[in-house]
Each structure stands twice: as C-alpha cells, then as structure tokens.
Amino acid sequence: MVASSVLGFPRIGGQRELKKTTESYWNGKVDQETLVNKGKELRSTNWKIQKDAGVEIIPSNDFSFYDQVLDLSLLFNVVPERYLKFNLSPIDILFAMGRGLQRKATETTEAVDVTALEMVKWFDSNYHYVRPTFSHSTDFQLGKFGLKPVDEYLEAKAQGIETRPVLLGPISYLYLGKSDKDSLDLEPLSLLPKLLPVYKELLSKLKEAGVTSVQIDEPILVLDLEESVRSLYKSTYDELSSVGLDLVLTTYFGDVRPNLDAIKGLNVAGFHFDFVRSPEQFDEVAEIVGDKIFSVGIVDGRNIWKADFAKASEIISKAIAKFGEDKVIVASSSSLLHTPVDLNSEKKLDATIKDWFSFATQKVDEIVILTKNAKGEDVSAEFAANAASIKSRTESSITNNPKVQSRLGEINESLSTRKSPFPTRLESQQKKYNLPLFPTTTIGSFPQTKDIRVNRNKFTKGEITAEQYDDFIKKEIDTVVKFQEEIGLDVLVHGEPERNDMVQYFGEQLDGFAFTTNGWVQSYGSRYVRPPIIVGDVSRPKAMTVKESVYAQSITSKPMKGMLTGPVTCLRWSFPRNDISQKLQSLQLSLALRDEVNDLEKAGITVIQVDEPALREGLPLRSGKERSDYLNWAAQSFRVATSGVEDSTQIHSHFCYSDLDPNHIKALDADVVSIEFSKKDDPNYIQEFSNYPNHIGLGLFDIHSPRIPSKEEFIKRIGEIMKVYSANKFWVNPDCGLKTRGWPEVRESLTNMVDAAKYFRDQY
C-alpha cells in the first residue's frame, strides 16, 4: 500500500529548547551531560509526534546540535588539524568548527584560539551549513568521534520506533565542500575513491544495527553539473548498494531533469523528487524510475501554506496509476527543517489567516491525510475543510489591495536609475563628508543585551508606556553613539536597539504581513529567526525608522547611517506568498522602501544603508532565463528603493555568507557595498572584486564567532587586500551586524579594527 514519509523534522524544539540549552552550555551554565540529554529529549519528542500522527517512514539522524553537514565532517574525521591540538571533546570540536573558539589558559586547561570554518547558504534557503574543508592530508575515518547515525537509529528503536536514517550523499558532500587554503590545487571530488569505503563502512554498521532502508540525499542534482560530476553517480551507487541496504536517493529544491542521465538506471531502491518546487518534471522523472520506489514530495517543506489537497492528490493518483500502490510514497518535498514546529502554539494569530497556515506538525498530518486518501480511506471531511480554507485565502480582501497593484504600473526605467553616474555622485559625496582613507563603519546592529530584550518585552506586554520605552531606546542609542565616537569610527550607526529582527521589524510596520509568536526556524547554529509571513499586497502606511535615525544624528556631528533591509531580503527572509510571483512581491516591497529612503533623506539622514544579504540566496539554482530574469528584477527592486535621492546622498548595501559574483552587485549601483570576507581564504576572491567600480568593504572579522581578532591580525588581513585593491576605494568594517555578540567582544574587536585602519592611513 501507499506509505507516508517525512524527510526531516525541525530539531529546535517547540519552545526553542535546543537554543536555550546549547547557549547555556557555551556560557558554562550547564554541563555536557545536560546538553546531550536535551538532544535525546528533543529527538524522542520529534519521533513521537510523527509516529502518533501515523507516519510510516520516520527519519533519524536529522537532528544536530549545530548543522547536519558539519556532523558528517566530524563523523568522517574531516577535521582540520588546527581543531585537534587542544584535547577537546567531540562536541566541543564540532562547536569550534562551527563558531570558532577562543579562551584563556587556566590552571588545568591551555589557551585555545581557532577560527570557524566557512559558513554558506544551503542552496537557495536561509539555512546556513558549515562547508566541509578538505586538504591533501584529509584522512577519512569512521568512528573516531562517534557513530551518530547508528546511535540515533538505535535510540529510536529502543523506544519502539523504526526509523529510516538520513545521510547526505558522498557526491553532494564533496561537491559542497572546498579545499583548504594550503591545498588549493585539490579538487574535493578527487577524494571520492577514499571516501566511498568509509560510507560503505557506515552503511554496513547501520545494517548490522537493523536498518533496512536509508534516505541518501543528493541535492546537487538540481544544480548545473558538469559531465565529470554526473558520470560519478553510477559507479558510486553500484558501490554503496553492494552493502545490501535499500537506498532511496533523494533530491529536492528544484528540477532534476537536466541531470536525469546521471541517475537513470542507478542501482538504488527508489527515488524522491520535489513536486512542490518543480511539478512540471513529473512525466520525465517518472520515466527513469522503472520498477523502483517513487517518493512524491508533495507537502511543502519550505513554506507555511497549507497543501492544496485537491491538487496534491491529483499528482499522487498519477503516480499510483503509473507505479502501483506498493511503489508510491507520499512525502514532504524536503526536510521540514525550514518550517516552524507547531501552529497550535500560535494563540494570537487572526483566526482567518491562521487557517491558511501549516507548520511542521501540521504538515505531518497533511502527509498522513493525503496517504489515507490514496489508500481509499474516508478523509472527505478533511478534504472539505482544506478546500474551504484554500478558497477563503484566494478570495480574501487581506490578500488583494488594488491600490498597491495599481502603483506597480508606475515603475519604469527612470524610477530605477540614480540621477547621475557614480563618479559624479562620488565627487559630491567626498565634498559633503570629507572622509579619510580607509573610512571605518559597522554594518548596523550593536549587541542586543538582556536589558534591551527585557524592556522590549515589558513594552510589548504593556508593562511600560510608549514614552518610557522611547526614553530607554534613546539611552541605548546614546551609549552606542558615544562608544563609536570614542574609538574613532567615521560613519556611525544608531545600533538598532528598537529592532527585534532585520526583517520582522519592517514587516511589523508594513501592511500585508502576518506574524507569529513561536514560529521560529533555525538559520544556523543557535541563531533562530521568526520569519514574517507575506499574506497580501505590501504597502507602507507610515515612516518606520526616521524617528530613531534623526535622534541619533542629533547627538553627533559625524555621518549617521539610516539602516534599512532591502526588498529582496525582506522577501527571501519572510515566508513569501505562493499565489503571485516573487518578482511582484519584491517590487511591492521596493516601492514601500523607496518611500522610507526618501523620508530619511528629507529628515537629514543622507547616508542610507539598504542591506541585501539574501541577494545571492535568491538566485535560481540553474543558469538560464529564470536566473537572468531574477538578476534583472532583483537589481531593479534595489534601484527602485534607492534611486529617488540626490547625488550627495550615499547609498550603502551589505551582503554576507554567499558566493557572490561582482556582476550581481554591480547592477545595484550602490555607492558603497560591504561583503562578508573573513572566512574566505582563497586569494582569488579578493582578485574577483578588485575591479569593482564603486567603493567596497571586505568584512574583516567574523561576527558569528566569539573570538576577538588582534590589531596585528587586522593589519595582516588589510595588507593582503591592499596587494590587489585600491586604497582610495576600500572601507574597513566587520562581516555583519553585531547584535549576537557581547559588549566586551565588540569593544575590543572594533577598537582593534579602527586602530588597524589608522595604521594604514599613516602608510598611504
């Protein structure tokens, strides 16, 4: 009969239990045993949710204390030597690779100072993975740091729950990695012959433990792959299948058709395809499956909208007609990692809007209902309720705003072009600001202290008045501005103490958004976000940031940056609508932000940063028309938001944690851009941006790590950049905003950074 399957479940806990315990461990408030036990508790809860709902194929090894790709690096001993010198426990090695580690020596422990590995976006999602780093000395071994997939399978089995372990496949694992800076001539995929025996050893141990089937993810099959990569699949899976386990090769996030030749005839038990993101691939992928299992990814693992049962059941029925009931699995399109845990925890959402949503726990129920329907069981009541919900959303006035739709017609080339080219603007800006060489700034936010969070919570609950809260925010701004002046920063920020999140803060002030109380999703490590939900056409009823920016400028003579989040990032870091194009949603946001940019300029804020860290994340995974169209409308959205200002107003933007192409950001025509750079150890990356025509800052320290770079480290880093970069175009700044760091780290790091900039001013 048709079976139900979940590809992965959120690991964070319904009340962010994983974050709280992990950060308590990092801060020395709980011991390792407490952390490990919390992991067991969360895994048990997740398995039980799925079993009680009636899911037949439940995943294991989808849990991680930090990142599932990093877990695999530890499992296979892909651990650079610098992390092995300090006699750390396996979990501390994991955390050191993920976030760096710096601590002073004590009577019983030696000093530790190691940087984190590079972290980049997981395909086109807002999840970040820690990139495996290989060298000529990489020695693949299994079991040196434990056998996590085996242990977690046995853990579930002991609770009476049979699971299907999840593994990232060997080709994707190597392809998504990089060569260490000392082994840049190494092609990671050349290590496949050394890695395969370790994978086979792992599969053998899983088989010995009682496993019969393994979900093995090869997500790179939705990318543009060269023939040299595609040709690896047959021999690789001939090897892996020889262990005797049923391997279900899993793809998601896109269209597999251009790589069908790589997987046609593979010696695996079955295939999984994502028919939410790419329903049009059905006929062609079905042709290569043969008599194997056909897993239909039909419940969206990337968004919060209810599945349309009528449309989903059509695809499931089509699969059953072709393959038969015993070969079809009804599944989530991808892991549910990218969705919040449970809609039932939302007590404040408008009932009408809430009825349109489905979080991970509800998606599990949807999978089971669709499976029951495919088996011929009576779920007519559930289908009727689903149809009513879909109809309600389609016809709602919340969704449709004729004024916003009409305003989109105003967008033309003139609206998205600055008045003068950059050289003319630069001359005007140099006269106005008279900045020194190597001007220093930060990306925007300063530490979000406990005091800030407590007062924000009091204001939200009505325990303090708006006036009291405004006074508190002003005092926080005073502190941040005074600190920046003391250490000698050149272009200041107000620190954003009033903001909860760089997208949520704006969404809360725009029409067309809805918000959750507990809709948390993991972004990386212990960093969780609560994405706003775009439920309708977007507009700005009033100014959003002018008050705080004007106050901050009033207490300093130095330039004060107005801080905004760009249209593409507001879109990508929200749960977007699935009923209109992302282009239309982005342009709606650009018009709202244009109004804000213009209001800031009118109020005297003439350095304005419009961040677009999600620009690269939104890039379609394959080259072609869809990608070129995206680059055009994404750049147009930014320019619409920023082009209504005078030449002397300086527009900044920021990008982080992506493999950027200079041409992508060149099209934005920002006056100054800042780019995450501290974890990039390929000298070619500097060279790629050396011809960028406008001004640029390559981020000099990793704000996601608690370690503090010395002045000498900053000087060395800037010196490397200056070998290929023009000093009169270079800005000095961190990688990203500082909200996740503590004040002691921020004070020392920024002071060292500014001192390094002053050192170079003396050299030029």
- Whether residue 677 is predicted with pLDDT greater than 70 in this model: the reply is yes
Residue 668: pLDDT band (50, 70, 90) is very high
pLDDT at 149: 98
Helix axis angle, 17-26 to 32-53, nearest 10°: 170
Residue 683: pLDDT band (50, 70, 90) is low
Residue 355 burial class via C-beta count within 10 angstroms: exposed 0-12, middle 13-18, buried 19 and up: middle
Give the integer Cα–Cα distance in Å for 761 and 764: 5
Count of CB atoms situated within 10 Å of the CB of 198: 18
- Whether residue 24 is predicted with pLDDT greater than 70 in this model: the reply is yes
pLDDT at 655: 87
pLDDT at 659: 65
Question: Above pLDDT 70, what percent of the chain?
Answer: 99
Tokens of 547: 């008050």
- Whether residue 146 is predicted with pLDDT greater than 90 in this model: the reply is yes
Helix axis angle, 32-53 to 148-158, nearest 10°: 60
Q: Which alpha helices (H) appear in 435-581, and where do they start and end?
A: 450-461, 466-487, 504-507, 546-554, 567-572
pLDDT at 181: 86
- Whether residue 681 is predicted with pLDDT greater than 70 in this model: the reply is no
Give the integer Cα–Cα distance in Å for 405 and 411: 11
Question: Are the beta carbons of 614 and 125 closer than 8 angstroms?
Answer: no
Mean predicted confidence (pLDDT) in 659-667: 80
Based on the residue annotation, tell me whether 128 is a catalytic residue of this protein: no
pLDDT at 6: 98
Full-model pTM: 0.91
- Whether residue 308 is predicted with pLDDT greater than 90 in this model: the reply is yes
- Whether residue 686 is predicted with pLDDT greater than 80 in this model: the reply is no
The one catalytic residue among 272, 338, 652, 704: 704
For residue 189, give the nearest of 174, 200, 204 by alpha carbon: 174
Give the integer Cα–Cα distance in Å for 683 and 689: 11
Rounded to the nearest 5°, which phi and psi values hold at 173? -60, -50
Query: Coil, strand or helix: which one is 294?
Result: strand
Q: What is the mean pLDDT of the chain?
A: 95
Mean predicted confidence (pLDDT) in 698-721: 90
Please check whether the domain covering 3-9+52-61+120-395 is classified as CATH 3.90.226.10: no
Mean predicted confidence (pLDDT) in 547-561: 97
pLDDT at 585: 97
Residue 299: pLDDT band (50, 70, 90) is very high
- Whether residue 103 is predicted with pLDDT greater than 90 in this model: the reply is no
Residue 551 burial class via C-beta count within 10 angstroms: exposed 0-12, middle 13-18, buried 19 and up: middle
- Whether residue 684 is predicted with pLDDT greater than 80 in this model: the reply is no
Residue 244 burial class via C-beta count within 10 angstroms: exposed 0-12, middle 13-18, buried 19 and up: exposed
Mean predicted confidence (pLDDT) in 594-604: 98
Residue with tokens 């080219």: 421
pLDDT at 688: 77
- Whether residue 130 is predicted with pLDDT greater than 90 in this model: the reply is yes
Mean predicted confidence (pLDDT) in 376-401: 95
Q: Which alpha helices (H) appear in 282-350, and where do they start and end?
A: 282-289, 309-323
Give the integer Cα–Cα distance in Å for 358 and 301: 10
Strand partners, 168: 217
Residue 107: pLDDT band (50, 70, 90) is confident
Give the integer Cα–Cα distance in Å for 509 and 450: 24
- Whether residue 436 is predicted with pLDDT greater than 80 in this model: the reply is yes
Give the integer Cα–Cα distance in Å for 117 and 133: 8
Question: Above pLDDT 90, what percent of the chain?
Answer: 88
pLDDT at 272: 98
pLDDT at 495: 96
Count of CB atoms situated within 10 Å of the CB of 764: 10
- Whether residue 106 is predicted with pLDDT greater than 80 in this model: the reply is yes
Residue 644 burial class via C-beta count within 10 angstroms: exposed 0-12, middle 13-18, buried 19 and up: middle
- Which 8-state DSSP code applies to residue 153? H
Query: Coil, strand or helix: which one is 112?
Result: strand
- Whether residue 501 is predicted with pLDDT greater than 90 in this model: the reply is no
Q: What class has domain 427-503+542-763?
A: alpha beta
Residue 689: pLDDT band (50, 70, 90) is confident
For residue 506, give the nearest of 597, 442, 579, 633 by alpha carbon: 597
- Whether residue 328 is predicted with pLDDT greater than 90 in this model: the reply is yes
Q: Tell me the Ramachandran region of residue 512: left when phi exceeds 0, alpha when psi lies from -120 to 50, beta otherwise.
A: left
Tokens of 640: 């619409």
In the chain, CATH 3.20.20.210 sits at: 3-9+52-61+120-395, 427-503+542-763
User: What is the per-residue pLDDT across 341-365, written as a single tens digit (0 to 9) for each?
Assistant: 999 999 999 999 999 999 999 999 9
Separation in Å, CA 300 to CA 132, 315, 362, 366, 512: 28, 14, 11, 10, 22
Tokens of 655: 């990008």
User: What is the per-residue pLDDT across 36-89, written as a single tens digit (0 to 9) for each?
Assistant: 999 999 999 999 999 999 999 999 999 999 999 999 999 999 999 999 999 899
- Whether residue 704 is predicted with pLDDT greater than 70 in this model: the reply is yes
